[in-house]
Structure 1
Amino acid sequence: MSNPLQGPEFYQNPYPAYAKLRSSASVQKVPAGSGGQYSYLVTGYAEARAAFTDPRLSKDTARFFADKPSTRNLHPAVSQTMLATDPPQHTRLRRLVTKAFTTGTVERLRPYIQQVTDDLVEAFLPDGRADLIADLAVPLPVTVICQMLGVPEKDRPAVRQWSNELFAAGQPGQIDAASHAIAGYMADLVEVKRRTPDSSLLTELVAARDGQDKLTEAELVSLAVLLLVAGHETTTNFIGNAALALLQHPASIARLREYPALLETALDELLRFDSPVGIATFRFSTETLTLGGTEIPPGVPVLIAPGAANRDPARFPDPDQLDLNRDAKGHLAFGHGIHRCLGAPLAKAEAEIALATLLARCDQLRLAVPAEDLQWRHTRLMRGLESLPATFSAPS
């Protein structure tokens, strides 16, 4: 049986595969790797939402792989992040991070995000064309999260490269090497912030405490890597996918230009329509459970697919249609439950500012190539474009 979650057609457009799988069962066994290995894939909305909060589905990858031989050499700072823990460890780590990642952070950052966006758009505006991935969707969130963490400007291209390589499907050697490079860099940067504290988020994490509890050195490095990678990868895909969706729906662009305030609520529909995360990070069953009428045995991987769940017609009628009037709250693009993306408000602010600035400053915005010629990243975890060439004119 071939794996329905890989191959050029799936990476280009996974939604027909998701729909076909969901039509037969909202939870089902799918092949994984070689040697008869398999996982359970969750494609239904109700089942995905339930799975995200089911305590019988563990994210403790160290526990799952403890007795399984592996040829991989992922750095622990990448393989054993906060995302790969269960309560009470996860609760403790998230509380410590949240103390540094306050709710007021995003509002305080909005002027900076706008300035970075203006500078990026100003740079390509005279050309009348741009790659909206390389020229906007990548540098905006990379610049913002690096600024927050205190990553020096000269190091940011390397950081972005390592992060990108962490999601190189089918390239385990490249992924492992990138994990050591980015973890080593962040360990050094943690030490720099300890010696010379500044106003960065990383300095706040070094000092973060909850009573007598504080982050260990390994936890500090792991959280730094997680915030760095998660702080821009998802947002890059969010901006790129949303821009493409609008470019393919000119009436939606016209409507947003007429009613700019609509964009804030339209972000949820854009996230639902083409989720920046196709399949959520690793979980496994700790005991036998039944989900969506399917019995899942203990000790097997369970893959929750927000990309599929967000197009479940049982939850979102006409799911393959982009409808900016739709109430898309409740989408699962950022996950759900205790592991819901901590940086979701920042991602939405960056995407809102990026899209609003594009629409305000670029008239006659169009795709520069046929949509079928666009290349998508070869990873089932992330759903994102390699490039997005567009043409436009500056407002007269």
Structure 2
Amino acid sequence: MTSPTLFTQEFWNDPHPVYAALRQEAPVRAVTLPNGMEVWLVTRYSDCKTALADPRLSKRLGVGDNSRALAAPVRSPLTHHLLANDPPDHTRLRRLVAKVFTARRVEDLRPRIGELSAALIEPLRDKDGVDLVEEYAVHLPIQVICELLGVPIEDQADFRRWTAVMVSASAGGAGVPEAAAAFVGYLRGLIERKRAAPADDLLSALVATRDEDDRLSEDELTSMAFLLLFAGHETTVNLIGNGMYTLLTLPDAHRRLREDPSLIPAAIEEFLRLESPVETATSRTATEAVTYGGVTIPAGAMVAISLLSADRDPDRFPAPDEFDLGRPDNQHLAFGYGIHYCLGAPLARLEAQIAFTDLLTAFPDMRLAVPPSEVTWRPGTLIRGTVALPVLL
């Protein structure tokens, strides 16, 4: 095929035509990421779903080149979490935190999340226009995950900065080792404070927990705190931002949701499918040769699975580029699939339901302050989200 232009700002702003071409002509192909890493990119839904659950693809960081961006002193403290392990370690680690994210436990958080959302919306009522990402979408998930973990909210500026740098690594951004080292140092200090003065929060529980008399190692504890803090806010920020961007470009859908809020859960699933907050799943390493779509990926190669592309595959979703509130069987891959399916999916859905309900109620006439073509999207192959979302309230 004629090689499409990947990983430019033009691509980040609208990757869907490129992914459509790849699905049609080269659904499994070798590419070079902006950070110089060579990976095999998988783009069709059926292949992506198979790869996500394939035990021959290892998630363990340190296998292949998975962790080469991290300096040795911080590699271990950040590479012993759920997304960086295979069974049996993955099974043990997931079991330790899964009970916190059950549908029932998450639903118990609804009143508090509603309070946080209302408090964020109140000062916006006096404004004509805002950056909805910076003024609302960023803060709701951060406040929720900070309360859940027991992280001081006043520290959010620091870990937001560190996570932004680490996300930029997939686009060739600089400063990753320094940001990772700072994050590790912060988490180590926070864990020591929880150990000295436990509180009623998840991080204190993880510090004290035992699993069949096997306490979490210090690196596992630091890694899990990192993952929960990072994934607990970064993806939901972009679910809210991407969803509002999508909605504000679709007047009919916007009107229907205002008139019938019961449609909001179905709308969220379409937001997730159309503009997934996770563009590409965290990388895997082939432990042996694997074949998808008739293409064999050699042992030792890195594999990148495009969730964003898979969820617009016309072989799986009729009229995949259309927003359809009545779409049947919307089994998108935005939260992954298999044993690494997102543990926080119920929490993300609940936060999004509250956010869209509150925003549509408070600001029924909200609209974009700029043409859609002027909204810039963040560079990077991991997280998909807008740099800013200027709106008129």
TM-score normalised by the chain length of structure 1: 0.93
Q: Contact between 1:99 and 1:208, CA under 8 Å: does it hold in 2?
A: no
* Alignment correspondent of 2:116: 116
Change (3 A) 1:123 1:339: same
Secondary structure class of the residue paired with 2:352: helix
Determine the C-alpha separation between the residues in 2 that align with 1:132 and 1:71. Answer: 32
For residues 252-307 of structure 1, give each alpha carbon's deviation from its aligned partner in whole angstroms, at most 9, with x where no partner exists: 11111121111112211110011111111010111112111111111101110000
For residues 1-58 of structure 1, give each alpha carbon's deviation from its aligned partner in whole angstroms, at most 9, with x where no partner exists: 97843111111111111111111032222234698x6321111001100100011111
In structure 2, the gaps of 5 or more residues are none
* Alignment correspondent of 2:385: 384
* Alignment correspondent of 1:162: 162
* Alignment correspondent of 2:192: 191
For residues 337-394 of structure 1, give each alpha carbon's deviation from its aligned partner in whole angstroms, at most 9, with x where no partner exists: 00111101111111111111111110211100111111111111111011101112xx
> Alignment RMSD, CA only?
2.0
* Alignment correspondent of 1:12: 13
Say whether 1:367 aligns with 2:368: yes
Determine the C-alpha separation between the residues in 1 that align with 2:241 and 2:279. Answer: 14
Q: Contact between 1:246 and 1:252, CA under 8 Å: does it hold in 2?
A: yes
1:216-227 matches, cutoff 5 A: 216-227=217-228
1:1-396 matches, cutoff 5 A: 4-32=5-33, 38-65=38-65, 72-73=70-71, 75-76=74-75, 77-169=77-169, 170-327=171-328, 329-392=330-393
Change (3 A) 1:271 1:328: farther
Determine the C-alpha separation between the residues in 2 that align with 1:49 and 1:327. Answer: 18
Determine the C-alpha separation between the residues in 1 that align with 2:376 and 2:173. Answer: 21
In structure 1, the gaps of 5 or more residues are none
Displacement, 1:172?
A: 5.0
Displacement, 1:188?
A: 0.9
For residues 196-242 of structure 1, give each alpha carbon's deviation from its aligned partner in whole angstroms, at most 9, with x where no partner exists: 11111101111222221221111111100100000000001100000
Secondary structure class of the residue paired with 1:302: strand
Change (3 A) 1:341 1:34: closer
For residues 138-158 of structure 1, give each alpha carbon's deviation from its aligned partner in whole angstroms, at most 9, with x where no partner exists: 011011101111111221221
Q: Which residue type is aligned with residue 271 of structure 2?
A: L
Displacement, 1:329?
A: 2.8
Determine the C-alpha separation between the residues in 2 that align with 1:182 and 1:122. Answer: 32
Displacement, 1:111?
A: 0.8
Determine the C-alpha separation between the residues in 1 that align with 2:38 and 2:4. Answer: 10
Q: Which residue type is aligned with residue 189 of structure 1?
A: L
Change (3 A) 1:249 1:33: closer
For residues 44-93 of structure 1, give each alpha carbon's deviation from its aligned partner in whole angstroms, at most 9, with x where no partner exists: 00110010001111111212249x9x575272233443211111111111
Determine the C-alpha separation between the residues in 2 that align with 1:328 and 1:137. Answer: 28
Q: Contact between 1:269 and 1:328, CA under 8 Å: does it hold in 2?
A: no
Determine the C-alpha separation between the residues in 2 that align with 1:205 and 1:353. Answer: 28
Change (3 A) 1:361 1:158: same
Secondary structure class of the residue paired with 1:363: coil
Secondary structure class of the residue paired with 1:278: coil
Q: Which residue type is aligned with residue 141 of structure 2?
A: P
Determine the C-alpha separation between the residues in 2 that align with 1:330 and 1:204. Answer: 34
Q: Contact between 2:100 and 2:106, CA under 8 Å: does it hold in 1?
A: no
Q: Contact between 2:113 and 2:354, CA under 8 Å: does it hold in 1?
A: yes
Determine the C-alpha separation between the residues in 2 that align with 1:152 and 1:298. Answer: 44
Displacement, 1:100?
A: 4.4
Q: Which residue type is aligned with residue 379 of structure 1?
A: G
Determine the C-alpha separation between the residues in 1 that align with 2:15 and 2:197. Answer: 47
Determine the C-alpha separation between the residues in 1 that align with 2:313 and 2:107. Answer: 33
Q: Contact between 2:70 and 2:180, CA under 8 Å: does it hold in 1?
A: no
Q: Contact between 1:3 and 1:31, CA under 8 Å: does it hold in 2?
A: no
Deviates more, 1:209-218 or 1:46-55: 209-218
TM-score normalised by the chain length of structure 2: 0.94
Deviates more, 1:299-308 or 1:184-193: 184-193
Displacement, 1:123?
A: 1.1
Q: Contact between 1:129 and 1:389, CA under 8 Å: does it hold in 2?
A: yes
For residues 89-128 of structure 1, give each alpha carbon's deviation from its aligned partner in whole angstroms, at most 9, with x where no partner exists: 1111111122444443311211111111111111111112
Determine the C-alpha separation between the residues in 1 that align with 2:228 and 2:35. Answer: 32
Deviates more, 1:150-159 or 1:25-34: 25-34
Q: How many residues align?
A: 389
Determine the C-alpha separation between the residues in 2 that align with 1:33 and 1:378. Answer: 10
Deviates more, 1:39-48 or 1:77-86: 77-86
Change (3 A) 1:71 1:19: closer
Determine the C-alpha separation between the residues in 2 that align with 1:155 and 1:115. Answer: 21
Determine the C-alpha separation between the residues in 2 that align with 1:262 and 1:324. Answer: 7
